[in-house]
Structure 1
Amino acid sequence: MLGDVSGISKIYLVTGKTDMRRSIDGLMAIIRDTYQMDPYANALYLFCGKRCNAIKALYFDKDGFCLIYKRLDSEGRFQWPRNAVEVRAITRQEFRWLMEGLSIEQPKAIRPVPKNSNKVF
């Protein structure tokens, strides 16, 4: 599931370090109390611990919460932003980069060309 986010309208990344011992209620409290966001929204909330080898994803699936835990084997690490403790909305492309072990801050990512571009090749 962690790769398929087609039914999710927003993806939020909680930067900084999260205590990975927290379960559904603890992560809901972070979303609701710390960031004043709605944990019942059609959104995927991503959390990472201090070692960056595991992430938790929380979302509400119509009749209950779903908590997904992904841990990388061996020496793999997620490129998790550690700048400040905040919630950051990310795109589906940035989510794919994160799941592939890349940084979500790609300085030279190719930007899509607007549809009404008048350039002739």
Structure 2
Amino acid sequence: MLIRELTADHIYLACGHTDMRKSIDGLAALVVSRFHLDPHQPALFLFCGRRKDRIKGLLWDETGFLLLYKRLEDGK
């Protein structure tokens, strides 16, 4: 995989918890239904799990969606 510089014009954080079993398509659907935004814009959408120790990010670049996943140590 070729890593290149990624940029986002905006960062959106979903309030509340999100089902972390959702994949790219499920998170993109949440962006449309919850934020009423286009998931194909240059923005980073962040979703937090129920236990608040996992974060998923959805980012569109010119070639497709990038799904980021972060597990926080010590739950913070």
Q: Do both proteins adopt the same fold according to a TM-score greater than 0.5, normalized to the shorter chain?
A: yes
For structure 2, list consecutive stretches of 5 or more residues without a partner in the other structure.
Answer: none
Are the counterparts in 1 of residues 48 and 56 from structure 2 also a CA contact under 8 Å?
A: yes
Query: Which aligned pairs between 1:43-54 and structure 2 lie closer than 5 A?
Result: 43-54=43-54
CA shift at 1:45, angstroms?
0.2
1:15 and 2:22 equivalent? no
Are the counterparts in 1 of residues 57 and 67 from structure 2 also a CA contact under 8 Å?
A: yes
Distance 1:38 1:59 in 2: 11
CA deviations 1:32-54 (Å, max 9, x no partner) are 12321100000000000110001
Cα distance change of structure 1 residues 13 and 27 upon mapping to structure 2, 3 Å threshold: same
Number of matched pairs: 72
Q: How well do the aligned residues superpose, as a CA RMSD in angstroms? A: 1.5
Distance 1:72 1:65 in 2: 22
2:37 maps to: 37
Amino acid at match of 2:23: S
- Decide which structure has the larger Cα Rg and report it: 1
Percentage of identical aligned residues = 49
2:75 maps to: 76
Q: TM-score, normalised by structure 2?
A: 0.87
Task: List 4+ stretches of structure 1 deviating above 6 A.
Answer: none
Q: Higher strand fraction: Structure 1 or Structure 2?
A: 2
Are the counterparts in 1 of residues 32 and 39 from structure 2 also a CA contact under 8 Å?
A: yes
Are the counterparts in 1 of residues 24 and 65 from structure 2 also a CA contact under 8 Å?
A: yes
Q: Higher helix fraction: Structure 1 or Structure 2?
A: 2
* SS of residue paired to 1:7: coil
Q: TM-score, normalised by structure 1?
A: 0.56
For structure 1, list consecutive stretches of 5 or more residues without a partner in the other structure.
Answer: 78-121
